[in-house]
Amino acid sequence: MSTPEETIRFSVSLPRPLLDELDRRVVGKGYASRSELVRDLIRERLVEETWERGDEEVAGVLTIVYDHHQRELTQHILEVQHQEYVHVVASTHVHIDHHNCLETIILRGLPAQIERLSQTIGGLKGVRFSALTRTSRLGH
């Protein structure tokens, strides 16, 4: 009998060049074993597929860097977050220097809602950098 949390060992056949590539990544990324890397690759793919399907609630972190001196930009960023408050879980603002502000905004909702909100904020004039980290529930 197998339990849900049981770890199963199975063998995989790979062409030598692909295995070499895998092993370079194991070393390069500091993984303890091939298994650890393969588990992470599978989880990454599962998250991607959940976002592509689009029918399940997911979470994301939007990281932005913006010009503190851009007129009314801070106000616009806040307004967008208030309008979409159901999707905004939390946000953190850090003043990285005299000109630049960094903000991380944790978002929750359907993938399309998070993508749209991220594009709206990322597209505001004066936002110099914008990157969305996509995550989802992983029961394994």
Q: 15 phi and psi, to 5 degrees?
A: -65, 145
CB of 81 to Ni ion, least distance (A): 15
With CA atoms as reference, report the closest residue to 118 among 104, 108, 132.
Answer: 132
Q: Does residue 101 touch Ni ion according to CB under 5 A?
A: yes
Q: How many helices (H) does the chain have, and how many strands (E)? A: 4, 4
| Residue 20 half-sphere exposure toward CB, CA atoms < 13 A | 3
Largest CA distance in the chain: 64
Instruction: Tell the smallest beta-carbon distance from residue 88 to Ni ion (Å).
Output: 18
Which residue, 53 or 93, has its beta carbon nearer to Ni ion? 93
140 is in an annotated binding site: no
Stretch that binds Ni ion, among 31-39, 88-96, 104-112, 115-123 (CB under 5 A): 88-96
To the question of whether residue 101 is assigned a binding role by annotation, the answer is yes
Pairwise CA distance, residues 94 & 49, whole Å: 32
Task: Report the nearest approach of Ni ion to the CB of residue 68 (Å).
Answer: 5
The residue of the chain with the least Cβ separation from Ni ion equals 101
Residues in contact with Ni ion by CB under 5 A are 95, 101
